[in-house]
Structures are given as structure tokens and as C-alpha cells.
Copies of this chain bind each other. A is one copy, B any other.
Amino acid sequence: KHILVIPGDGIGPEVTTWGKAVLEEIGKQGGHEFTFDEALMGHAAIEATGNPLPDETLEKAKASDAILFGAIGHIKYDNDPSAKVRPEQGLLKIRKELGLYANLRPIMLFDELLDASSLKPEVLRGTDILFFRELTGDVYFGEKKRSEDRNSASDLMIYHRYEVERIAHKAFEAARARSKRLCSVDKANVLEASRLWREVVQELAKQYPDVETEHMFIDNAAMQLVKNPKKFDVVLTANLFGDILTDEASQIAGSMGMLASASVGDGTGFFEPIHGSAHDIAGQDKANPLASILSVALMLEISFGLKEEAKKITDAIDKALKAGYRTGDIADAHTDKAKILGTTAMG
């Protein structure tokens, strides 16, 4: 299997180093042959080529069996709303070009980290959520306009039936294989795009009579996720709502540094931590590499069907956490100071 590594920006390179190292070790132990290539995207690519997604990167991506990505973004652009070229354009474009319409974000809870969250352990215990976030539609990709006098700006929030159908099928199938509960999140009391979303999900639900389907408004979902996260199992939602809800849900797992994601669709799968580029700690050996390593576990399971190898990884992480090892983001007042590790040691 040929893997393209795209380290990206900020802490991206540090954390993907360890994702890749784990893949190599899995290859060695299990007799699998993984070959690697590397490519630029985001701020790193803008600096080198002026383009956040160089053609070469896209070609390499299409030719690979899976992609391991780090993180994207730079504070320089965040504070310059009028910048024409932005790192994020690279990520959005590769999602679109590779047809990565389904972003899977599992919210896994390591028992050892129950206390690292700001939520009470009794609220968290037993939580296990799998988000299906639509990734190539919505207000992210609808037409963007700025009036000539620059005094009005708009983005079109738009969905097409087929876009909702294809991700809904994936989510229903996952629900079928899990606890048979699906919650679709929208804002159908206000938005026409959400009303189409709800109509389509209601229709498809008839094909999955064994799955209990619920519809919830996004404002209520954002609230329930804090109040009682256990009530969710498979959550299906649009691009923008998924962006917000999954970041919020990261606090269930104690830290964004623990959450991996898989983007799949028409072709090559794309695996990345859900955390950002975190420039404030970049290059300081402080970032938590576990989200990148867990992204590799998702790659093994989803792209290569290597379930046992994926489990080896989560077991190893579990063991490290049980032994008391923590990176700064998941340490708490009770953590043995000597066991607070940097990126390299944790990797």
C-alpha cells in the first residue's frame, strides 16, 4: 500500500511523523509493505509554490492508496479577512477533488481520560459517538459573493438530494452495524436546505426500518451534547453543523489531541486529526501525537480492512495511558509530573 503523507502546517509535521512511524512499525510486525511519499498543502505549500494545493500534491494524492494529513492554517491569514489565497483553500479543494463527501469522526473515550474532561465523569462514562459530517457541500462550497462596494458579503448554503442520500446511506449502514440508532441534525424549522435534508433522511429511513431514526435541531443538539452525550450514537449532519458539533464533542474525549477523523467517498481515503495547526505550540515538542496515531488506526481499518492492526494501536495507546503517561493537553492535577511527556516521547 502506498501512503501519501501531507504534514501541512503548524504542529502537523510533528504529529504526522509519529503517525507514519506507527504505520512503519505495524508494517514490520505484520509483514505488510507500506511505501511513503510526501507532499505540500496549506500555508507550507503557499510559501513554497504560491498555491495552497499544488497540482503535484493532487496528482500524488490521487495515485495513493491512502493519505495521512497533519493540520492546516496560519494565524497570519486568520487576521487578514481580505487575503485572496488562504491555507484552508487547499484542504477544501482536496476534499472536493477526491470526492471525500463523508467525514467520520468517532468520539472514543479512553477510561483513563475520564477526568481530563471539563464534563463530569458520570456524564461521560459510556459515551461512544460516531459522527458522519457531510464534507463537500453546504455553505462551504456554495457560491461566495462580495458586492462591488464590498459592503455586502454572502455564501450560498445549498444541498442537492444526491449529496444527502449518499452520506445518509453510509450513516444508516454504520448505525445498522452499531446500536441501530441514528440522529440526524439540521435546522429544518428555519432553513430550506435543512428541510430538504430532513425530507431525504425521512425517506431513506424507510429502507432501514431496523434503525431508530431521530431528527434534532442543531441548537438543541449542541445543548444535548453537553447535557447528556450518552444519548447519541450515530450522528448525521451537514458540513457546517458537523464542523461545530464535532469540535464541541472533542471535549468529551478530554482533548482535541485525542480525536482522529476519516474522510471517505469516491476514491482514496484521507485521514487526519481533528485538531488544527496550533501554531502557538508548534516546533516545541508539546503537541499530542495520539490523534495522528489514531488516524492511522482508522486508515488501517477503513482503507485497508486491517482491523486487528488497528486494534493493536488503540490497545497500545490504552496501555500508555493506563501506565499514567500523558501529553500536556490531557494531563490533570493528579498526573505524575514525571509522566507528562512531549510529542517524541509519547510517539
User: What residues make up the interface of A, taking CB atoms closer than 8 Å to B?
Assistant: 73, 77-79, 81-82, 86, 88, 92, 118-120, 123, 139-140, 142, 144-146, 150-162, 187-199, 202, 215, 217-220, 222-223, 225-228, 240-241, 243-248, 250-251, 256, 276
Contact = CB atoms under 8 A, between A and B. Distances in A.
B118 A193 contact: no
Contacts of A188: 78, 81
Contacts of A189: 73, 77-78, 86, 88
Interface centre among A140, A150, A151, A276 (most CB of B within 10 A): A151
Nearest to A198: B81
Contact of A215 (B79, B158, B162): B79
B228 A248 contact: no
Given A81-B198, A118-B227, A251-B226, A153 B192 contact: yes
B118 A228 contact: yes
Given A155-B192, A192-B154, A245 B222 contact: yes
Contacts of A140: 190
A304 B178 CA distance: 55
A232 to B, nearest CB: 14
Contacts of A119: 118-120, 226
A222 B243 CA distance: 10
Nearest to A144: B192
A86 B192 CA distance: 12
Contacts of A243: 187, 218-219
B157 A139 contact: yes
A131 B144 CA distance: 27
A142 to B, nearest CB: 7
The copy count of this chain in the complex is 2
Contacts of A202: 79, 81
Contact of A219 (B150, B190, B191, B244): B244
A251 B192 CA distance: 28
Given A77-B189, A86-B189, A153-B192, A222 B222 contact: yes
Contact of A154 (B81, B153, B157, B162): B157
Given A118-B226, A219-B247, 11 more contacts: A78-B215, A81-B188, A81-B202, A82-B195, A88-B189, A150-B196, A153-B197, A219-B243, A222-B222, A222-B245, A223-B247
A82 B188 CA distance: 10
A192 B156 CA distance: 10
A213 to B, nearest CB: 11
Contacts of A198: 81
Given A139-B157, A152-B160, A192-B154, A223 B248 contact: yes
A204 B131 CA distance: 38
A170 to B, nearest CB: 20
29 contacts: A78-B189, A78-B215, A79-B202, A81-B199, A81-B202, A118-B119, A118-B228, A119-B120, A139-B190, A142-B154, A145-B192, A146-B196, A150-B196, A151-B162, A151-B196, A152-B159, A152-B196, A153-B158, A153-B193, A154-B192, A154-B193, A155-B157, A156-B156, A156-B157, A219-B246, A222-B245, A222-B247, A223-B256, A227-B251
